[in-house]
Amino acid sequence: ILNVEQSPQSLHVQEGDSTNFTCSFPSSNFYALHWYRWETAKSPEALFVMTLNGDEKKKGRISATLNTKEGYSYLYIKGSQPEDSATYLCASNSGNTPLVFGKGTRLSVIA
Amino acid sequence: DAGITQSPRHKVTETGTPVTLRCHQTENHRYMYWYRQDPGHGLRLIHYSYGVKDTDKGEVSDGYSVSRSKTEDFLLTLESATSSQTSVYFCAISLAAQETQYFGPGTRLLVL
């Protein structure tokens, strides 16, 4: 089973701070890297899917980068807002196998 | 939003009883998944299906079985529920294994 690691496990930032967190995955047989946002008491929602080395995706204040050769992806949040508070999950797979999820980074943005 | 429903949304049962959770989709997605969410573990895959009558085990399949007799429905059965199966169960769907997964609202199960 693929091993997908996320760090840090949790993060507390002040409103307006920019922040980033990391997802590590095996670089061999890489197929895709996904980021999801998961608010408390809700279901995970997809943010980005990236497949190519060097891919960068952006949605509002949130962006992500992908390095498939070294097996990592960064998620950046610019100017964090309280509504950004959530758990951010990354997931990866190889070939035609189901996604394997990391344990997530829990972000708390303090007003 | 993807049309995915789960039933029941909440259930309390006793140890040793069978329990079946249902996931229903209206999106005609080929892949369907069952996950459990537990503190410190994130989302762990129980079983998944890649077509009608085609299923495979995930990371934590012991004590669970699944069935998919039609595209729209994916059933998860706990043959004899145990307290360790108390969890929140999420169903998800996707067009293909590497594609975005869309999640249902979750079922909260308490096994006493």
Inter-chain CB proximity B45 and A43 less than 8 Å = no
Count of pairs with CB atoms under 8 A, one residue in A, one in B: 51
CB neighbours of B88 closer than 8 A, spacing ≥ 6? B36, B37, B38, B106, B107, B108, B109
Residue A110 has pLDDT above 70, yes or no: yes
Please tell me the predicted confidence (pLDDT) of residue B102.
96
Interface probe for B, chosen from A59, A101, A105 (most Cβ of B below 10 Å), is A101
In the predicted structure, residue B22 carries a pLDDT above the cut 90: yes
Express each pLDDT in B54-97 by its tens digit. 999 999 999 999 999 999 999 999 999 999 999 999 999 999 98
pLDDT of residue B2: 57
Q: In degrees rounded to 5, what are phi and psi of residue A98?
A: -65, 160
Q: Please tell me which residue, A96 or A46, carries the higher pLDDT value.
A: A46
Could you report the per-residue pLDDT of B39-59, keeping only the tens digit for each?
Answer: 888 899 999 999 999 999 999
The C-alpha of A106 sits at a distance from chain B's nearest C-alpha, in angstroms, of: 11
